[in-house]
Structure formats: structure tokens, C-alpha cells
A and B are shown apart, each in its own frame.
Chain A
Amino acid sequence: MALEQADVQRAAHLARLGLNEGDAARYVDDLNRILAMVDQLQRLDTTDIAPLSHPLDATQRLRADEVTESDQRDHFQRCAPAVENGLYLVPRVVE
């Protein structure tokens, strides 16, 4: 399946990336080359091979359910562009 410019624009929108026409055309080529490589991989017989969700041959460590973090709001909010009453302020979003 080859991508077209509209697919790339759509993916860019979903990822909130701004692309100009020239960028988009270049990405169509790049991404299609990547997909061609995937197509090549797809030709391998993977019957009886479990899907790999993580490259490390390890399992998730679990932590005990304890509160270990203290309030560092002032520290974190120093790098926020706008705060008020302890809230982070962002451009208005309404559903």
C-alpha cells in the first residue's frame, strides 16, 4: 500500500506537526520507502513466533503502592507559561 500526500497530511495533523507542501512531498517518498521495507519483512513466515512487544527479554518490575512523591507544584510551575490558582492555563479548549 503506497501512501499519498493526503495520508501524510492527515498523519501530520494527528501528530500536530506543521508541514509545508515541499516537506509533505519528501515525507511521502521517505515513508513509502519505509513501508516497502516493512512489506519485505511481511514476506517472512512468522508462524509460531510470538509477537515481540518489547526488545528486552525482561518483564515489568512492580513497585509497592506507597506515596513517595511530595508536593513540588511551585517548582514545576516555574517553567509553565501561565498559571493561576494552582492551575496550568492553556489556550481555551471546549468540546
Chain B
Amino acid sequence: MQWETVIGLEVHVQLATQSKIFSGASTAFGAEPNTQACAVDLGLPGVLPVLNEAAVAMAVQFGLAIHAEIPEVSIFDRKNYFYPDLPKGYQTSQMYHPIVGPGVVEISLDDGDTKRVRVHHAHLEEDAGKSLHEDFHGMTGVDLNRAGTPLLEIVSEPDMRSAKEAAAYLKAIHSIVTYLGISDGNMAEGSMRCDVNVSVRPQGQEAFGTRAEIKNVNSFRFVERAIAFEVERQIELLEDGGEVIQETRLFDPERDETRSMRTKEQANDYRYFPCPDLLPVVLDRAYVDHLRETLPELPADKRARFQNELGLSAYDASVLSATREMADYFEAVKDACGDAKQAANWVQGELSGALNREGLAIQDSPVSARQLGELIGRVIDDTINGKAAKQVFQALWHGEGENADAVIEAKGLKQVTDTAAIDAMIDRVIADSPAQVAQYRDAEPEKRGKMIGYFVGQVMKASRGTANPQQVNALLKEKLDALC
């Protein structure tokens, strides 16, 4: 039987506020345990939450970026369950009136196609603390620094049909939140976390199959692997006459499998009710309109502009607009050299290669966008050839010289376009290679094109790589053919 996979994602994004969603404690990552957990975060008696304006603004910006409805009123609810890293005994969340209504995210697929994934809603809530189960004399240690960190939970519709689409969706969300600057998107530090709902159904069937929810999927790669495993597990189960049960499963990246997890609360009976400590949040139109005006150019728009206005391929446009840092760097290179295609080639080729080798992010590149742009400019105006340009790039990468011109000067890489100088080198090479000249002369004229490579190589070597290869080629052909 042919099976179809159906996937929906719940993505939790930690918002990049300075302070917590309901208290003035710091949200900075990596502090000593419990030094950033104040009376409100600890749920001590008599405290009251006060909502952080920046968290509201960031949620609304996200909503606007996915063309969502922003309801005028949103309401906080209490989601009740007991766990030591949740000191109040409930998580303050939004169940019935979330801050962001239905929207849509455009994802780009490997074949250059795009697809629209609907977002059901996005709501604000607080993060929990962390439980440490290492050895504390048989007890569990609790660090509440993370408790109260603002989260935006983005709930998709079950619109994805493959692990690749799910990963592309997650990347699109990552790209939007980092473009907006509302999250650092650091998955390794848990700034972005993802629960995946997966089910399968026979191809052509309309009703959804029973789904499993996979928790703890915290990288783009894990999303694909967890889904691949889970889909296979469910299909096998069904084909053997079994049934998928609705449950929460945990992805174990070390063993590359998902396994059933005991639930925190039987049947997820969270007994939501409106939080009496928080009043309804009312957003007036002027406030929302003001936020709309402050939105930066978003990834999908940038991708379209790179393609339509700069003439880049769909693939290049998608790679170069993937992160704001990448896009900003590329545009600065393009502005400095005036050629978008060359800029795209260099950023994705030489620069990305060097960054990957050293594990650096583009914003930490030792070669600045300006330096790279100027270097490309020297290739375009024929000051240096492509081979010399790579040498200049390496020199700039290792800090040998302020800019391309200084390196070209210091290393004597300026391309020789002086015909007399090249003539002399060619004459010397021809004089020194009687055997090759004889072969060339005896060869069929159509085979000579290939044989000329040897002479070009010798002349380039004699010029220490500074001769203009096209020029060398043309002059050589002229001189050799004159000998035939």
C-alpha cells in the first residue's frame, strides 16, 4: 500500500527580551543556577505577574510577518500540571484567545518550488525551569533561571507531507524569527525547540490517521531523522495489522529512534481556565500599525528580490537569503563590487568554503564584505586573474594586508596585459619546447586546441600566474599556427 505522511509542528521560540515575560528578572543564558529566579518566577505567595511589553511586540511582529490576523483582545490562561520545574503548579499560557491568529509561512523546497504552510495560531507563554537528574543523593536538582522566559509557541496546521518539508518549515520559522531579531534562534541552547506531530494514512484517504507527538527534536537534522523513524514505525505497525496509539514519544538522537514516554499528566487533563492575575490584553490598531511599519524586509521578500531584481537563480537566492547575516554580507559585497552574480559566486564558493573549514559564522568572517567586494572588483576590472584572486583571498583571510590592492601590490600579482612582455614569454616557451612544438605541428588541426594547454601552462608558470590567460591563449594560438 502507498502511505502518505502528515506532519504538523509546534515550535517554541524563546523571545529575545532582556527580562522575563512576567517579572523583571534577567533572561541571560548561562548564569549560575537560580541567580535569575525572582519571587514571581518562584511562584512565592503574594506576587503578581506584569506582562512585558517587548514580548507582546515581538509576538505581534511575528504575526505580521506571517500575514496573520492579530486579534484585538488576547487572554492568558492557566495550564495546570505538577512538575518541580514549574513552581506555580501551572504554566501561564494562552489557550482560547491567542495573541496571533491564523497565518501562513512560505517554505522553499530543494527543487526550487515553494509551498505555503498554514499556521493555526501562535501564543505567548512562559518557559519552565530545568530539572537535573544527576546524582544529588537520589534527589532531583532544580534550576529556575529559565522559568518565566517568554516563549512564542507557533502551531502549524498538518500541512506538511514529508520530513524534508517539515525541516524546510522549521528553517523558514528560524529565518523569520532571526530576521525579525525576536529570537537568537540558537537551537543548541534551546532557544528554539520543536514538537512534531506525525501520522500516516493510505494515499488518497481524506481522514487523518492517529498521530504520535514526538518531543525533544532540537535540530533541523533531528526533525528529519525523527520523522523518518516514526513514519517507518507507524507503517510497519499498520501493515502488521496493528494500530497506532495517540501518545507522546521522545526522540533519542543517540539511538536514532523514538520511544514511548510516560505522560506528565494522565490524558493531558490540564484544566485550563483564564488566569485571574492577568487582565485581557488589548492591542489598539495604531500600535499594531506602528509595529507593521518597523518590520524589516523578510526572507521570502528578499529571496524574490534577489531572483527578480538581481537575476540570481532560485537556488542562489534561497541560500543567500537564508539568514539575515548572510543576506546583509552578500548585499554589502554586491554593493562594493557592483556585480550580483560574481558576489553570489564568491560568497557561496570561496568564502563559504573557508568559513565551513574553520567552523565560523559569516558575521565572524576574517574577510569583511568590503574587502571581498573590492577584491572581486579587481577581477572585474582585469587587474588580476581568477587564480591570483584566490591567492589574494587567502592572504586577506590570514590578515596579510589591509585590502585587495595592498595584497596585489605586495605579492606582485597584478595581471600582465602588456603584449610585449607576454610575447617575450611565449617566444621563450616555444623555443624551449621543440618536441611539443613538433607534436603540435604534426597533429590534426582539430586536436591542436587541446594541445595548446601545455603551452598556456608553461607561460602562466613563467609569469608566476600573473598573465591574463585569455590573452596568452590567443597569442599562443596565433604564434603556433604561424609555425605550422
Residues of A within 8 A of B (CB): 14, 16, 53-54, 56, 58-69, 71-73, 76-77, 82, 84-95
Contact of A86 among B34, B39, B51 (CB under 8 A): B34
Question: Is B18's CB under 8 angstroms from A65's CB?
Answer: yes
Question: Is B34's CB under 8 angstroms from A77's CB?
Answer: yes
Q: Name the residue on B nearest A13 (C-beta).
A: B266
Q: Considering residues A59, A65, A76, which has the most beta carbons from chain B within 10 angstroms of its beta carbon?
A: A65
Question: Is B19's CB under 8 angstroms from A76's CB?
Answer: no
Question: Is A93's CB under 8 angstroms from B84's CB?
Answer: yes
- B269 CB contacts on chain A under 8 angstroms: 14
Contact of B279 among A59, A84, A91, A93 (CB under 8 A): A59
- B44 CB contacts on chain A under 8 angstroms: 76
How far apart are the CA atoms of A63 and B39 in the complex, in Å?
17
Q: Name the residue on A nearest B39 (C-beta).
A: A76
Contact of B278 among A14, A60, A77, A84 (CB under 8 A): A60
Q: How distant is A59 from chain B, measured CB to nearest CB, in Å?
A: 4
CB-based closest 3 A-B pairs: A68-B24, A87-B141, A65-B54
How far apart are the CA atoms of A63 and B34 in the complex, in Å?
23
Contact of B141 among A66, A71, A85 (CB under 8 A): A85
Query: Can you list 28 pairs linking A and B with CB atoms under 8 Å apart?
Result: A14-B271, A54-B276, A54-B278, A60-B278, A60-B281, A65-B55, A67-B18, A67-B19, A67-B24, A67-B26, A68-B24, A69-B19, A69-B26, A71-B35, A76-B39, A76-B42, A76-B44, A86-B33, A86-B35, A88-B34, A88-B142, A89-B136, A89-B139, A90-B139, A94-B140, A95-B261, A95-B262, A95-B264
Question: Is B141's CB under 8 angstroms from A84's CB?
Answer: yes
Question: Is A69's CB under 8 angstroms from B38's CB?
Answer: yes
Question: Is A94's CB under 8 angstroms from B34's CB?
Answer: no
Contact of A68 among B17, B19, B42, B136 (CB under 8 A): B19
Q: How distant is B93 from chain A, measured CB to nearest CB, in Å?
A: 14
Question: Is B139's CB under 8 angstroms from A60's CB?
Answer: no
- A16 CB contacts on chain B under 8 angstroms: 82
Q: How does the 8 Å CB contact mask read for B133-166 relative to A, with 1 for contact and 0 for none?
A: 1001011111110000000000000000000000
Q: Considering residues A59, A61, A88, which has the most beta carbons from chain B within 10 angstroms of its beta carbon?
A: A88
Q: Name the residue on B nearest A65 (C-beta).
A: B54
Question: Is B32's CB under 8 angstroms from A90's CB?
Answer: no
- A72 CB contacts on chain B under 8 angstroms: 38-39
Task: Tell me if B80 counts as interface (CB < 8 A to partner A).
Answer: yes
Task: Tell me if B332 counts as interface (CB < 8 A to partner A).
Answer: no
How far apart are the CA atoms of A89 and B38 in the complex, in Å?
17
Task: Tell me if B265 counts as interface (CB < 8 A to partner A).
Answer: yes
Question: Is A62's CB under 8 angstroms from B38's CB?
Answer: no
B41-61 interface (Cβ within 8 A of A): 42, 44, 50-56
Q: How distant is A9 from chain B, measured CB to nearest CB, in Å?
A: 12
How far apart are the CA atoms of A17 and B223 in the complex, in Å?
39
With known contacts A53-B274, A54-B279, A92-B140, A66–B19 Cβ distance under 8 A: yes
Question: Is A58's CB under 8 angstroms from B279's CB?
Answer: yes
How far apart are the CA atoms of A77 and B51 in the complex, in Å?
26
- A87 CB contacts on chain B under 8 angstroms: 33-34, 132, 136, 141-143
Q: Considering residues A60, A63, A95, which has the most beta carbons from chain B within 10 angstroms of its beta carbon?
A: A60
Q: How distant is A14 from chain B, measured CB to nearest CB, in Å?
A: 6
- A93 CB contacts on chain B under 8 angstroms: 83-84, 131, 133, 140
Question: Is B24's CB under 8 angstroms from A69's CB?
Answer: yes
- B142 CB contacts on chain A under 8 angstroms: 87-90
Contact of B50 among A61, A91, A94 (CB under 8 A): A61
How far apart are the CA atoms of A76 and B80 in the complex, in Å?
24
Q: How distant is A63 from chain B, measured CB to nearest CB, in Å?
A: 5
Contact of B280 among A54, A84, A86, A92 (CB under 8 A): A54
Contact of A53 among B36, B42, B56, B75 (CB under 8 A): B75
How far apart are the CA atoms of A62 and B17 in the complex, in Å?
14
Question: Is A60's CB under 8 angstroms from B280's CB?
Answer: yes
How far apart are the CA atoms of A90 and B387 in the complex, in Å?
65
Contact of A60 among B25, B36, B80, B282 (CB under 8 A): B282
Task: Tell me if B258 counts as interface (CB < 8 A to partner A).
Answer: no
How far apart are the CA atoms of A67 and B235 in the complex, in Å?
51
Question: Is B141's CB under 8 angstroms from A63's CB?
Answer: no
What 4 additional pairs, Cβ within 8 angstroms, besides A54-B280, A60-B280?
Answer: A53-B97, A60-B279, A62-B281, A93-B84
With known contacts A14-B265, A58-B279, A66-B18, A84–B136 Cβ distance under 8 A: yes
Task: Tell me if B14 counts as interface (CB < 8 A to partner A).
Answer: no
Question: Is B138's CB under 8 angstroms from A92's CB?
Answer: yes
Question: Is B262's CB under 8 angstroms from A88's CB?
Answer: no
- A77 CB contacts on chain B under 8 angstroms: 34
How far apart are the CA atoms of A16 and B75 in the complex, in Å?
27
Question: Is A88's CB under 8 angstroms from B276's CB?
Answer: no
Q: How distant is B379 from chain A, measured CB to nearest CB, in Å?
A: 47
With known contacts A54-B276, A88-B34, A92-B139, A63–B18 Cβ distance under 8 A: no
Q: How does the 8 Å CB contact mask read for B68-85 relative to A, with 1 for contact and 0 for none?
A: 000000010000101110
Q: Name the residue on A nearest B150 (C-beta).
A: A65
Q: Name the residue on A nearest B77 (C-beta).
A: A53
How far apart are the CA atoms of A95 and B133 in the complex, in Å?
10
Q: How does the 8 Å CB contact mask read for B261-292 relative to A, with 1 for contact and 0 for none?
A: 11011000101001010111110000000000
